[in-house]
């Protein structure tokens, strides 16, 4: 048929660049045995490119479009409308028109057709673009078809399509439009089939939505659809809607709304047998494409026709396994306060530095808890540990455990596993142990930092791999676990017994302020000391406020007071510059690499706090804790058997204050090592760039550690692999990881089972006692933090890198977190009321609203509008 038209029978899934995503999928569908696809053809992207050549003014318009901010809706609306007018105004060239009308004749000149856009960046594994371009139904006659083909070309530049490409980094010039023209079918019923449940992501449950007539009534929201769920060839849920209208083909072309007779409005559009048959058809399509599908279908004379199938891009991936058994996976990221997607090098380094095997999905890591949950004893211990850490994870896991037959069952003497954090340890280790462990840790890290500078090539990779063993030894040294567990158990004891004896909730929170050896809280206070050096020098403040250059420290010495300021910042970075948001991913930029990330917070401290605030803050917390201790002990002594109880209380308070701070140290040491590894690996990557092996140094982030070893050894890399990994990473960034994931693909995030909340309150987990009211500052990027004293930080999650911000706020609300995660620990040390695990907090709470945070009872109230 030439370059401008291809019959669907000539098309397969490899031809996205020629016929767009929709056309390629339809062509591939037409090749599947037993799948009926209406006959038709594709107007190729060659035709679109020919049109663009006939409109040289488009180049300038496209350049302007690419420079627009995706949030500037008015500019996008104006510019995209101008481009559409240009495209619709171009006369279809004779050669293109002849190819289209010739193909149309083979369908029948007066055949009613569906004319559908098919962009080259549409229905892709990582970006569906569903609904971004236009479809026209019941188009009759060559002239009308040509006119609607032009409209499809123009629909590449609808406002929603342009905005989507801008937000997702697609180049307008590199996205082309093909058009699918198919013989129109006139169905009794239409709808969509998801071969995996789009709500729960369960791959074994299919969801069907059905309406009478054409599917446009469903797509446009004109009617409620019948809804069915099917599992194992059985309809397990059904809801028949009242359907008042149907969209039908109009005799004059196009479509019209037609009322449904009252007697038929609540009749199901499909029988249960038809639903099951449709799902079987969908499973055949899914198996062919190798992933769950979103399928548009029509029912004509009891035969199903597929008019589109695209991958469901919103499903969270499932970890790959070698068996077909059921599995339960628990998120590592929700424990580590890092739910963002990780690059391959980051994933593999983390896996190599832990002792527990981890599953991988969607750029995140999960612990396979199946065997822990299979034995009654290990199950009880596991649920107790995760319940203390994150009750939402516990609730989600219980949901799965309570299902009959999903998990295997082992007796208590079977192959159960130990539970991290539940192993017996000495309750009262020697107080000198913390100092000893820190000294040994410092020496170990210093040795790595010293020795790694002498390594390069394969020797470097071998050195790092060997040091992973030393890192694991330090992280999981039983001696290091003793003080951490001693503090945790003492905290639990205090909260339980002081609540029972005195009616106090979370009493240990006030007793945990300003404990020694907490390197993370010290980091926040140390930044206040840097602010003290900068504050007396207005020229330094002005310089830092205006700079965007990551090399600003070099220029800082040129202004009055700049040398002292530079020395203070450099000293801070020397100790803490290896930290950053998402620091468990070795590939994330560190403060030392991008020191401008610290400037908003540093300048906020200069503006809002007084000299000496760091030392005063620590001393005030120490005094508050001491006074709370005296009050508690006095009240306990007044109880029956008070002296014994007070002695036991004092012993547990001492355990908390002696050992709680050490909990933050092992991760600090690990991150220092990570930074040493990263600096050395990037230096090696620069060598590979100079040698022509790598295109850019950061390509190593998209290789796993063992792959990088081989690249360094062989001096060659698979550039296509790196490119694919970058695309996959971008698709993973758009996904929200669940707290719990099953091998069926079901995602679970748990729920709070509470009915004691004020009306309208947002429920969460109380992790630091107290009640505070203030202005909500919804901050998603710490580098953009602009807070004032009394503000309440509302964010998705915090890791140690957020701790310097805590000295300037009055309370904390996060979407992710638990009792022993870093944000909770530092909030308690600073005496900040905090509630974590508040679902959708950053979307429900608006920046600037006045809110009340109840860190004692675990809820947040919105008091005023923004």
Task: Give DSSP secondary structure letters for 123-191.
Answer: SBTTB--TTSS-EEEEEESHHHHHHHHHHHHHGGG-HHHHHHHHHHT--GGG--EEEEEEE----SEEE
The whole-number average pLDDT for the span 570-583 is 96
Name the token pair of 39.
């006959």
Predicted local distance difference test score (pLDDT) of residue 417:
52
**Is 278's pLDDT higher than 90?**
yes
The alpha carbons of the chain give a radius of gyration, in whole angstroms, of 31
The whole-number average pLDDT for the span 792-800 is 93
Name the token pair of 653.
């308070």
Predicted local distance difference test score (pLDDT) of residue 329:
97
CB 28 within 8 A of CB 11: yes
CB 764 within 8 A of CB 837: yes
Residue 817 gets which letter from DSSP? -
**Is 644's pLDDT higher than 50?**
yes
Interstrand relation of 834-836 and 811-814 (parallel, antiparallel or unpaired): parallel
| pLDDT tier, 388 (very low <50, low <70, confident <90, very high otherwise) | confident
The whole-number average pLDDT for the span 642-658 is 97
The whole-number average pLDDT for the span 8-36 is 94
| pLDDT tier, 416 (very low <50, low <70, confident <90, very high otherwise) | very low
What percentage of the chain reaches a pLDDT higher than 70?
A: 96
Q: Which candidate, 81, 280, 307, 302, places its Cα nearest to that of 216?
A: 307
Cβ neighbours, 10 Å, residue 196: 25
Give catalytic status of residue 822 as yes or no. Answer: yes
CA distance 259 to 270: 19
Give pairs for 582-585: CB < 8 Å, separation 24+: 582/338, 582/340, 582/342, 582/799, 583/338, 583/671, 583/674, 583/799, 583/800, 583/801, 584/336, 584/338, 584/342, 584/346, 584/350, 584/671, 584/799, 585/338, 585/340, 585/342, 585/343, 585/346, 585/347, 585/350
In the beta sheet, which residues pair with residue 308? 296
CA distance 745 to 205: 10
CA distance 528 to 609: 8
Residue 36 gets which letter from DSSP? B
CB 182 within 8 A of CB 207: no
Kindly state the helix (H) or strand (E) to which residue 305 belongs, with its residue range: strand 303-311
Could you give the strand order of the β-sheet that contains 747-748, starting from the edge strand earlier in sequence?
Answer: 359-361, 364-368, 328-331, 740-742, 747-748
The whole-number average pLDDT for the span 64-68 is 79
**Is 124's pLDDT higher than 50?**
no
SS3 label, residue 752 = coil
b or e along 215-229 (b: 16 or more beta carbons within 10 Å of the residue's beta carbon)? Answer: bbbbbeeebbbbebb
**Is 252's pLDDT higher than 80?**
no
CB 360 within 8 A of CB 366: yes
Kindly state the helix (H) or strand (E) to which residue 765 belongs, with its residue range: strand 765-768
Give pLDDT tens digits for 721-762: 999 999 999 999 989 999 999 999 999 999 998 888 899 999
Give pLDDT tens digits for 532-542: 999 999 999 99
CA distance 852 to 774: 7
Give pLDDT tens digits for 149-175: 999 999 888 888 888 878 777 777 778
Q: Which candidate, 549, 601, 574, 596, places its Cα nearest to that of 788?
A: 601
**Is 796's pLDDT higher than 80?**
yes
b or e along 379-415 (b: 16 or more beta carbons within 10 Å of the residue's beta carbon)? Answer: bebbbebbbbbbbbbbbbbbbbbeeeebbeebeeeee
SS3 label, residue 258 = strand
The whole-number average pLDDT for the span 1-20 is 89
**pTM value?**
0.87
Name the token pair of 718.
């698979």
Name the token pair of 7.
């019959």
Name the token pair of 240.
């028949």
Cβ neighbours, 10 Å, residue 43: 30
The whole-number average pLDDT for the span 172-196 is 91
Name the token pair of 665.
């140290």
Name the token pair of 20.
């767009």
CB 339 within 8 A of CB 327: no
DSSP-H helix ranges across 547-641: 552-556, 562-576, 599-608, 613-637
Give pLDDT tens digits for 279-297: 999 999 999 999 999 999 9
The whole-number average pLDDT for the span 668-675 is 97
Could you give the strand order of the β-sheet that contains 5-7, starting from the edge strand earlier in sequence?
Answer: 5-7, 40-43, 177-183, 112-119, 135-140
**Is 609's pLDDT higher than 80?**
yes
Predicted local distance difference test score (pLDDT) of residue 160:
84
**Is 423's pLDDT higher than 60?**
no
Q: Is 62 exposed, middle or buried (0-12, 13-18, 19+ CB in 10 A)?
A: middle
732 φ/ψ angles, rounded to the nearest 5 degrees: -65, -30
DSSP codes joined into one string, 202-256? -TT-EEEEEEEBBTHHHHTTSSPPEEEEEETTEEEEEE-----EEEEE-TTSSEE
The gap from C-alpha 826 to its chain's centroid, in whole angstroms, comes to 24
The whole-number average pLDDT for the span 564-584 is 96
Q: Which candidate, 474, 429, 815, 814, places its Cα nearest to that of 660?
A: 429
Torsion sign across C-alpha atoms 26, 29, 31, 34:
negative
Predicted local distance difference test score (pLDDT) of residue 542:
97
Predicted local distance difference test score (pLDDT) of residue 573:
98
The gap from C-alpha 23 to its chain's centroid, in whole angstroms, comes to 31
The whole-number average pLDDT for the span 517-521 is 94
**Is 788's pLDDT higher than 70?**
yes
Residue for token pair 């001696």: 479
Average pLDDT, the chain: 91
**Is 823's pLDDT higher than 60?**
yes
Q: Tell me the longest C-alpha to C-alpha distance in the chain.
A: 101
Predicted local distance difference test score (pLDDT) of residue 2:
55
Residue of 148, 537, 822, 859 with catalytic role: 822
Q: Which candidate, 422, 370, 309, 446, places its Cα nearest to that of 35?
A: 309
Q: Is 764 exposed, middle or buried (0-12, 13-18, 19+ CB in 10 A)?
A: buried
């Amino acid at each position: 048929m030439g370059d401008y038209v291809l019959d669907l029978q000539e098309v397969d899934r490899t031809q996205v660049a020629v016929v767009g995503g929709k056309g390629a999928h339809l062509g591939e569908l037409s090749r599947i045995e037993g799948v009926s696809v209406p006959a038709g053809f594709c107007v190729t992207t060659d035709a679109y490119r020919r049109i663009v050549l006939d409109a040289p003014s488009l180049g300038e318009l496209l350049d302007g479009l690419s420079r627009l901010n995706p949030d500037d809706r008015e500019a996008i609306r104006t510019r995209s409308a101008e481009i559409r007018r240009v495209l619709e105004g171009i006369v279809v060239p004779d050669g293109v028109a002849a190819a289209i009308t010739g193909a149309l004749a083979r369908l029948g000149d007066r055949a009613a057709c569906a004319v559908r856009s098919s962009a080259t960046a549409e229905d892709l594994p990582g970006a569906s673009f569903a609904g971004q371009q236009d479809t026209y139904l019941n188009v009759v006659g060559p002239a009308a078809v040509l006119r609607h083909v032009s409209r499809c070309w123009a629909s590449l530049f609808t406002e929603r399509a342009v905005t989507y490409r801008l937000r997702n980094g697609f180049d307008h010039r590199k996205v082309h439009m093909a058009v699918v023209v198919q013989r129109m079918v006139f169905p009794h019923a239409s709808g969509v089939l998801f071969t995996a449940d789009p709500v729960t992501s369960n791959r074994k449950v299919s969801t069907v939505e059905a309406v009478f007539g054409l599917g446009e009534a469903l797509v446009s929201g004109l009617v409620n659809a019948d809804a069915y769920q099917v599992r194992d060839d059985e309809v397990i849920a059904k809801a028949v809607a009242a359907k008042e209208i149907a969209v039908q083909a109009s005799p004059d072309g196009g479509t019209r709304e037609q009322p449904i007779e009252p007697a038929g409005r609540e009749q199901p559009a499909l029988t249960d047998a038809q639903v099951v048959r449709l799902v079987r058809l969908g499973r055949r399509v899914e198996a062919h494409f190798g992933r769950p599908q979103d399928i548009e279908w029509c029912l004509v004379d009891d035969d199903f026709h597929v008019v589109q199938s695209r991958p469901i891009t919103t499903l969270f991936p499932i970890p790959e396994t070698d068996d077909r058994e059921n599995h339960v996976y628990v998120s590592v990221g929700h424990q580590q306060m890092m739910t963002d997607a990780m690059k391959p090098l980051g994933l593999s380094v983390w896996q190599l530095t832990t002792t527990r095997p981890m599953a991988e999905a969607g750029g995140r890591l999960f612990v396979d808890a199946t065997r822990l949950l299979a034995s009654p004893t290990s199950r009880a211990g596991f649920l107790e540990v995760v319940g203390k850490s994150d009750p939402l994870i516990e609730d989600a896991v219980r949901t799965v455990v309570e299902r009959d037959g999903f998990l295997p069952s082992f007796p208590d003497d079977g192959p159960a596993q130990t539970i991290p954090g539940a192993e017996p340890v000495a309750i009262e280790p020697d107080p000198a142990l913390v100092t000893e462990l820190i000294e040994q840790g410092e020496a170990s890290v210093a040795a790595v930092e010293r020795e790694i500078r002498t390594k390069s090539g394969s020797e470097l990779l071998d050195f790092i791999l060997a040091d992973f063993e030393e890192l694991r030894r330090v992280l999981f040294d039983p001696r290091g676990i003793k003080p951490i567990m001693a503090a945790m158990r003492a905290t639990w004891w205090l909260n339980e017994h002081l609540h029972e004896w005195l009616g106090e909730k979370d009493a240990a929170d006030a007793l945990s302020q300003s404990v020694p050896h907490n390197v993370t809280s010290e980091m926040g206070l140390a930044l206040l000391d840097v602010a003290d050096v900068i504050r007396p020098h207005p020229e330094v403040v002005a310089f830092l406020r205006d700079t965007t250059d990551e090399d600003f420290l070099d220029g800082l010495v040129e202004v009055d007071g700049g040398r002292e300021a530079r020395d203070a910042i450099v000293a801070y970075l020397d100790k803490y510059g290896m930290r950053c948001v998402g620091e468990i991913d070795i590939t994330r930029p560190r403060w030392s690499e991008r020191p401008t990330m610290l400037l908003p917070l540093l300048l906020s401290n200069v503006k809002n706090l007084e000299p000496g605030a760091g030392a005063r803050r620590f001393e005030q917390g120490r005094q508050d804790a001491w006074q709370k201790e005296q009050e508690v002990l006095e009240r306990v002594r007044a109880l029956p058997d008070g002296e014994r109880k007070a002695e036991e209380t004092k012993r547990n308070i001492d355990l908390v204050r002696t050992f709680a701070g050490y909990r933050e140290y092992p991760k600090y040491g690990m991150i220092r090592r990570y930074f040493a590894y990263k600096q050395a690996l990037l230096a090696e990557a620069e060598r590979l760039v100079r040698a022509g092996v790598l295109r850019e140094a950061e390509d190593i982030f998209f290789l796993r550690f063992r792959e990088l070893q081989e690249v360094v050894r062989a001096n060659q890399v698979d550039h296509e692999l790196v490119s694919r990994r970058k695309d996959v990473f971008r698709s993973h960034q758009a996904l929200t990881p669940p707290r719990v994931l099953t091998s069926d693909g079901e995602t679970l995030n748990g729920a709070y089972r509470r009915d004691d909340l004020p009306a309208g309150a947002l429920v969460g987990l109380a992790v630091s006692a107290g009640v505070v009211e203030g202005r909500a500052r919804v901050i998603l990027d710490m580098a953009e933090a602009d807070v004032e004293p009394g503000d309440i930080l509302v964010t998705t999650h915090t890791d140690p890198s957020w701790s310097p911000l805590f000295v300037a706020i009055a309370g904390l609300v996060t979407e992710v977190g638990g009792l022993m995660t870093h944000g909770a620990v530092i909030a308690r040390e600073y005496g900040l009321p905090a509630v974590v695990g508040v679902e959708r907090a950053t979307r429900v709470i608006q920046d600037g609203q006045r809110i009340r945070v109840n860190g004692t009872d675990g809820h947040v109230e919105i008091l005023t509008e923004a």
